[in-house]
Amino acid sequence: MAVSKSANRSDLAYYPKSRTRSPYSKNTLRHSIHSAAESRSAVRKKAFIQTTENPLLYFFSVVGGGIADSFYIAGVILGYLRKEIFVRQERRLYWRMKKLGIRFSYLMGRLGLAITLPFVKTVRGFYLMGQAVARQKGRPFGDKVMAAADVFYYGCRNNINMFKTMVNYILPVMGVVLFACVVNFTGSLSFAVAVSYNGEQIGYVSSEAVAEQAKQILTGRLVYLDDSERITITPSYSLEIVENTEMLNEYQLADELIQLSSDEIVTAKGLYVDNVFYGAAEGDGTELEATLQKVLDQYRTDSEDETVSFVNDVKVVPGLYITENIVSTDDLVAQVLSTDSTVRYYTASLNETAEEVADANRISVSELKKLNPDIEIDSKSTTFSEGQMLTVAEGGSFLPVQVTRTETYTEEVPYSTKTTKSADYMKGTTKTVKAGENGKNQVTAKISYVDGSEVSREVLSTKVLSEPVTREVIQGTASPVSLSGSTGDGKIASGFIWPLSGSNRYVSSYYGSRSLGNHGGIDICLRGGTYGASVRASASGTVVFSGTNGSFGKLVRIDHGNGLQTYYAHNSQLLVSAGDHVAQGEVIAKAGATGRVTGPHVHFEVRVNGQRRNPINYLP
């Protein structure tokens, strides 16, 4: 349906192009909108005449017209606001929407008629057939049939195209329905392997691999004693399509195959370790399972994240077993609790590392090192030669237990040592000036044990509790005092210093003969008071004596090497101990008046190879 542009453009309000304020007042705007509404009512009446036969077509025409009206009113308002560019766009958009709404509503109406008309006419045909039969009331049945047949014939002839349209609709729908049914039916089917033996079908398995596993299980159960005749069971397989049939697993299939054997069978529970069959205990196997649980429980500590399990894959499988494979429960329990004393060896490949050998045998590198004390294993990267024999196990329990738990412990961190070289001490002399102290870390680690022996450790976190304190050591570099050319009377360039320092120092008694007898050293005093003054080592060396010694009182004796020693006597306090290394000038004592003295002083002696020498010759 088309609407003339000229018939409706006259209804649009005038939009002045000037950018000055519009001369139209609000009343003028209101008048323009009312005029447009009247014009649109006229258009709707024309559309109503063409669409009144189809309510659906009329509905879409009303909706399309409403949308167009909204754009038209917006154009009038924009014109009032003097936005000329928008007004032109609204004019164009209004007429396009008007056409689009009418055309769309018309097409939708036609589509609705095309879809519903065949069904309406079919119902109408049955209605006419009923009326034709009703008009033959009182007549023979054959006349009624002929009347209905006439209506049906002319109806089909006059509406042959309608039936073609219905076929075009119905056939695709039927095809879709049929396809859905096929997909649904196919989805309920599955492929399975049918297992048969001696012409008798046993059941279905999901794959031939399951059947092969069942044969292996069967072979393990059919372990005969002595030289009894062996039984060979070879089932046949075929691939079939089945509906939701319950599949057999490998153990169920093995049971079915055993039932087909001629030997006597019983219900029992078999013990498998790493898929190796060790026997079956008749009955419910409660004692066997309780023993296995008891072995695990003895390693439990009730830690939150603790895992306890057998290193090997241990299974207790219920099923049907041949009587020859039944053993007493006591024998199986004894087997579980037994130990293996066999030493196992491993032959290394060329350049195989210690870590690779340890991983292959489920032990740690430290355990490998412990088992091979004669082989130098420094680290995980240690390599071995081709064919080298390594001990990897010294025997143990039949079923080793692995325990993995998270543990928190305190670990000591070794301190380091800082060495400073000093000429104040003799060569070979080491003096600790600051003691070292190990640090402490709180470590959280996941540790694995096998039968109580650690096999691996993974550190999860480390918290420093205390830092290690560095040990500070002074290492002497000074050479021993040279005594070459010494006569005992002349000066010797020894490098010695006075035990008492200061300008107020004086010698109260010299080396040699005196009224009280021969004096083996010199007595040193300080003007103003000697008692409590610091006594210093004349040269670096090692303290060989520190204590009370008869008439010497409190004595310090220092060895300077090359047979040279110095004596410091009559002290009030000793500040060093035997074995200490002292530097030249280091305070070793406090002056006093101990021993046989007449007053406070320091008795200083120099001895070479045990012989007294005049100390004045060694002092500056």
Select, from the ranges 25-29, 74-78, 261-265, 267-271, the one with the highest average predicted confidence (pLDDT): 267-271
Looking at per-residue confidence, does 394 or 567 come out higher?
567
Task: Give, in degrees to the nearest 5, the angle at Cα 547 between 545 and 552.
Answer: 95
- Residue 288 in contact with residue 333, Cβ under 8 Å? yes
Kindly report the backbone phi and psi dihedral angles of residue 54, in degrees, each rounded to the nearest multiple of 5, phi listed first: -125, 110
Does the pLDDT of residue 48 top 50, yes or no? no
Place of tokens 């540790």: 447
pLDDT at residue 35 is higher than 70: no
Most confident of 315-319, 482-486, 577-581: 577-581
596: number of Cβ within 10 Å: 13
Spatial separation of the C-alpha atoms in residues 429 and 541, rounded to whole Å: 8
Say if CB 523 and CB 536 are below 8 A apart. no
pLDDT of residue 228: 46
Q: Which of 110, 96, 112 is nearest to 50 (CA)?
A: 110
pLDDT, greater one: 433 or 112:
433
Instruction: Count CB atoms within 10 A of the CB of residue 181.
Output: 10
What spatial distance separates the first Cα and last Cα of the chain, rounded to whole Å? 135
Q: What is the mean pLDDT of residues 90-110?
A: 65
Structure confidence at residue 11 (pLDDT): 38
210 contact partners, CB below 8 Å, separation of at least 6: 193, 248, 249, 250, 253
Q: How far apart are CA 93 and CA 88, in angstroms?
A: 9
> Residue 463: which residues within 8 A CB-CB, separation 6 or more?
441, 442, 443
Which range, 54-58, 224-228, 252-256, is most confident? 252-256
Rank 35-49, 264-278, 296-310 by mean pLDDT and report only the highest. Answer: 296-310
Residue 443 has pLDDT above 60, yes or no: yes
Burial of 620 (0-12, 13-18, 19+ CB in 10 A): exposed
Integer angstrom CA distances of residue 350 from 129, 362, 369? 101, 20, 18
Q: What confidence category does residue 526 fall into, taking pLDDT thresholds of 50, 70 and 90?
A: very high
Most confident of 200-204, 500-504, 512-516: 500-504
CA distances from 368 to 135, 233, 394, 452 (A): 112, 45, 11, 16
Residues 6+ apart with CB under 8 A from 614: 488, 489, 511, 512, 606
**pLDDT confidence of residue 283:** 72
| Residue corresponding to tokens 């096998």 | 450
| Per-residue pLDDT tens over the stretch 186-220 | 666 667 777 777 767 777 777 778 878 887 777 76
Cβ neighbours of residue 158 closer than 8 Å, sequence gap 6 or more = none
What would the mean pLDDT of 345-357 be, rounded to a whole number?
86
Integer angstrom CA distances of residue 271 from 319, 335, 370: 11, 10, 33
Residues 6+ apart with CB under 8 A from 349: 384, 386
Residue whose tokens read 């010797």: 492
Q: Is the pLDDT of residue 33 over 60?
A: no
Q: Which of 7-21, 107-121, 258-272, 420-434 has the lowest mean pLDDT?
A: 7-21
Amino acid at 234: T
- b/e burial code for range 319-335 (CB count within 10 A of at least 16 → b): bbbbeebbbebeebbeb
Is the pLDDT score of 265 beyond 50? Answer: yes
Q: Rounded to an integer, what distance in angstroms lies between the CA atom of residue 1 and that of residue 106?
A: 7
